[in-house]
Amino acid sequence: MIWSSFSFSCTDVVWSFLALCFLVAFCAHKISAYLPRKWDTGRLYLLFQDLIRYGKTKQTLKRDNWLRAFDVPKRWFSHFYAISVGWNGLLLAIYLNFIYHHQSFPSWLTGLLDILTGVPSTDSQVPQLSTVLVQLLLCVHSLRRLLECLFVSVFSDGALHLVQYVFGVCYYIVLGLTVLCSDHLGKGSGSLLSQLDWFHMAGSALFIWASLMQHQSIVLLAGLRTGKSGTVETLAHRLPEGGWFELVSCPHYLAELLIYVSLSLIFGGLSLTWWLVVLYVLFNQALAAQLCHEHYVGKYDSYPKHRKAFIPFVL
């Protein structure tokens, strides 16, 4: 594979750093299982576990009151997607205005992109179909997840750490800017329709399939707490079954990874920046899936032995 650019931009450094942090966190968590039991009560260990866990995986953690003071409701996940819809919708509108009305980006946005890419913006930049598609699908993904949080998912009294909440808000803001940073590396020319290629269709098809897979998984999870009429019957955690849950403990996390892979395909697979985003999502979701998997295995004696945490037959 030939990358669009071999030089590391500020954006590349950010995503590389985040990917490395979550890889280190994943490895540190795996290693912690082999440490002496006395480490379980250490403040540094508890702080580390508190920062990487949320929801049901945090409930079994024996935390001091000072750590609980930083808890915010897990249902605030919906804020991430509301912000993403608004922010990425704004960036999409600005980009479409650039395409169809030939108006330059606002100076504040141009300044941000110049810093993040290290490449000065030019008015002669050719609009990229890949950028429009990724922006549009990112908005669709965020809107779907927002609607699922509001009308499908059944949240208990699970918690997030305040640091996780702030990180989640910033994440979708930086993600939208990253799409436009990848646009600086685009090689398409001519009208948007003339740029249409097989990888746009392949990426869009994978996006749709992964989105349906994720939605099915979320519906199955919500069904564990609701009756046939759709009313909530319990907030307890139950053993998930059906669909991709027969292969992995967290198919919704696997679907999230595939969604980001699909967006990388839409960029033609040539954007190093976006592959670094995919790498970050891989390690981030692998850590979250591993924690959920351990929770299920520890809680249910009859938990299927063949079921992996995240990737079928692998992890």
d(CA 199, CA 161): 39
The structural domains of the chain, with segments of one domain joined by +, span 10-230+239-299
d(CA 246, CA 35): 31
**pLDDT for the residue numbered 5:** 43
Residue type, 28: A
Residues 244-275: tens digit of each pLDDT: 999 999 999 999 999 999 999 999 988 899 99
Phi, psi of 247, rounded to the nearest 5 degrees: -110, -35
Count H helices and E strands in the chain, helices first.
11, 2
Whether the Cβ atoms of residue 297 and residue 241 lie closer than 8 Å to each other:
no
Contacts of 75 (CB under 8 A, 6+ apart): 149, 155
| pLDDT < 50 regions, the chain | 1-6
Residue 133: how many CB atoms within 10 A of its CB?
21
d(CA 40, CA 49): 10
**pLDDT for the residue numbered 1:** 42
d(CA 181, CA 106): 15
